Structure 1
Amino acid sequence: MKTLINAWPFWAVLSAVFAALTAVFAKVGVGSINSDMATFIRTLVILAVAGLILAVFREWQPVGSISGRTWMFLVLSGLATGASWLCYFRALKLGEAARVAPVDKLSVVMVAVFSVLFLGERLSLPNWLGVGLIATGAALVAVR
């Protein structure tokens, strides 16, 4: 079990499970309120849970120990996350969760492209085939 907990696939699968639950719960939750308010409430919950985890596991780090470059990229990541959540909740408010979530997962395709272009990562032909299938699948699910 210790090996499983330290393996990235374990956490990636859990992420996918929680992302799926996020779509279902959010679709119900956003039904009777403004999508931006729903995003705000969700953000407060995440902030509280992340703070609790840091406190329980005593993982707080001195702010001064974090480099300027790290701060810059984490702030950019936070801005991108916030924009993504606002757009996602707006899409859920307006559309069906079963169609919105797969289009949102086109981020997988974009991560593949961006990681090759900006991070110098390399993908094999089978990897690119998978990326293409994800894009095709998202498009097929989104079509009415």
Structure 2
Amino acid sequence: MKSLLSTWQFWALGSAVFAALTAILAKAGIGDTNADFATFVRTVVILLLLACIVTVTQSWQSPSAVSPRSWIFLVLSGLATGASWFCYFRALKLGNAAQVAPLDKLSVVLVAIFAVLFLGERLSPTHWLAVSMIAAGAVLLTLRI
């Protein structure tokens, strides 16, 4: 039997929990702080944490061992992450976490669409229904009613 720690579901749920905590902790901490500076602080903390993790797990590797194709996509992913955080912290500064976070989670819907369009992945009609429900739920949570 597979160890729980070796399943994608375990790590995906961990990601969801920490993403939820990110919204709550960021909203609590942003207060009178500039959103861009708050994003910078968060980024420095992440960089230090990941350096520790890579060191402890002995996962450092030579940059030359990474293919040029991987470099391109990792750099583009980093730029997308930075843009996402920039937008997210601005949204949290201006709005309620309980409304900002669900709208941000429309990324789940976009991932499904992009995975089909760009990665050739296939979704069943049931999966498309679920994606539609996520979209509807995210939009409904942003309404002030």
The alignment partner of 1:64 has SS state of helix
Which residue does 2:58 correspond to in 1?
58
Q: Counterparts of 2:37 and 2:8 in 1: how far apart (Å)?
A: 33
Matched, 1:76 2:60: no
Which residue does 2:35 correspond to in 1?
35
Query: With structure 1 as the length reference, what TM-score do the two structures score?
Result: 0.98
Which residue does 1:14 correspond to in 2?
14
Matches within 5 A, 1:123-142: 123-142=123-142
Q: Counterparts of 1:31 and 1:9 in 2: how far apart (Å)?
A: 34
Which residue does 1:86 correspond to in 2?
86
Structure 2 unaligned runs (5+)?
A: none
Q: Counterparts of 1:106 and 1:4 in 2: how far apart (Å)?
A: 28
Q: Which moves more between the two structures, 72-81 or 2-11?
A: 2-11
Query: With structure 2 as the length reference, what TM-score do the two structures score?
Result: 0.97
Structure 1 unaligned runs (5+)?
A: none
CA RMSD of the aligned region, Å?
1.0
CA shift, 1:57, in A, is: 1.1
The one-letter code matched in structure 2 to 1:97 is A
Q: Counterparts of 1:89 and 1:42 in 2: how far apart (Å)?
A: 10
Q: Percent identity?
A: 63
Q: Counterparts of 1:55 and 1:123 in 2: how far apart (Å)?
A: 38
The alignment partner of 2:60 has SS state of coil
Q: Counterparts of 2:76 and 2:60 in 1: how far apart (Å)?
A: 21
For these two proteins, the number of residue pairs brought into alignment is 144
The alignment partner of 1:32 has SS state of coil
CA shift, 1:2, in A, is: 5.7
The alignment partner of 2:3 has SS state of helix
Which residue does 1:116 correspond to in 2?
116
Q: Counterparts of 1:50 and 1:135 in 2: how far apart (Å)?
A: 32
The one-letter code matched in structure 2 to 1:106 is L
The one-letter code matched in structure 1 to 2:51 is G
Deviation readout 1:107-137 (Å, 9 max, x if unpaired):
0000000000000000001100010000000
